[in-house]
Structure 1
């Protein structure tokens, strides 16, 4: 059996790690971690091993690797394999999970079996362009928006496909541990689901992870408590109970052993680092504008769609984006257009229209104000660099 390597990227709750990687040689170890990872195959082919299954993948393959996926990649005939990796904390997946019901719904989605998903070439380009834009901005609201976009894309594909068939009791034992971590007796629930004894389930976890059931369970619970700490409306006691700790004393003890500080101190650290999400309304504004920027949307139309008064809407824009609705929408459109010019083959007029501008003259005037040059200059520069 391959060596098991646990990786802890220690990402802040609202941060992401976005990188393109080239697989020159096969991984020797199976990896797993607390974070989640979207994978998009960009070039070549490879074998992806997840737990005790192997899957052939090639350009366009798109999947979500979760904490219970022990994985590694193999080359095929020494072929170079290039893939995009978007690593993110559970906090960004939970998003609005501020109560037990929504939390459980999110957890249920994350436990679905791995399907074989392939994206069309046009969708691949859209994903890569979006990722490139977000990486340059380094803004937590854009990070959330990107994860929301990728998750929606993933869910839409899930609806079209049957689940990847999994028969391994080892794999399912680890998956159900994640599913039933809130229960008072999760091992008994898991054993009942798999028609195994608790001892057999413990053995399955040990075989797959080289670790114990209790250690894995505690890791899942602590990971999830940290994820929920970004929501300032939840008390530490509520968070611990949502994640399966039925004793506050035990929660504090386990948390201190893992992080060498109390839950309260850890949360205060998030506040100081501006890693708490205090407005879902601001997130909804950004997501709405990123969805409909190509259309001639107006302030009143947007406030009605989001069920906010114009005054409240403008206050949110000023507080969280430090500008008006009109300026925020223009910034989104000009960023999209700039990205299209430097990464695509569109003309200036085509980029302007695709970004939501009504004509190229207005676009050129606004573009020059933001970038101190004209879009045609940028377009010509790109053409020169590629000739």
Structure 2
């Protein structure tokens, strides 16, 4: 199953229901460049995420950090962490994505001891999974087998999946990662989500830097530092990029015209919208609309 358009709420929490079987998990192959944006946009979810790169290379951003994941290797992304992905150098990256509820990786009696401390740790936004490490190879092999189990749906396959998930989590713990809990880091993450939530609620209206800073209970300068450090951009540039992102699905509607779409997503000038769209997408909004109409 290829999720081509991420649905997120106003805080960037992904709204996709992660359930491809009668279990609180989803496992599917994703071709990055087939997403409506050409990349996997910034989002977060409560589920734990395991990634296995089966073709090409991907550049992931998790919270403030950026890293390249090579073919054959993988990635663990912790619950609640902001993340996005794009293929590296047009490598045609394809990866298997396994999302699972933290409550399902181990029996309920073991959750408090062996799961909760890990999803609360502020120094564990992600782990690079190296196929050449014993624990890493075990995890990546189990991801592949879970994907196969979901496709084949043989007798009692749900029990086999549950056993594989316990095996994955055991190997993650065997890695022996020292856990840390920093209240300030947790507060930073919450403030960032509050500012993003405010932008996604008001993007169609006029937005000032003061408004964004107020949403995060920060000064203007501190607000800018948050965006530069975590998202590698400025608050107002992020607003522009988000408006363009929101315009993509609108432009694909047969009855939509460029001027209407520009105003619907918060631009007060059609020419300004066209200029920013061209710089972001390497084509005009009208050319994008025609391209998508022909593609369908």
With the length of structure 2 as denominator, give the TM-score of the two structures. 0.49
Higher relative contact order (Cα pairs below 8 Å, separated by 6+ residues): 2
Between structure 1 and structure 2, the one with the greater Rg is: 1
- In terms of fraction of residues, the more helix-rich structure is 1
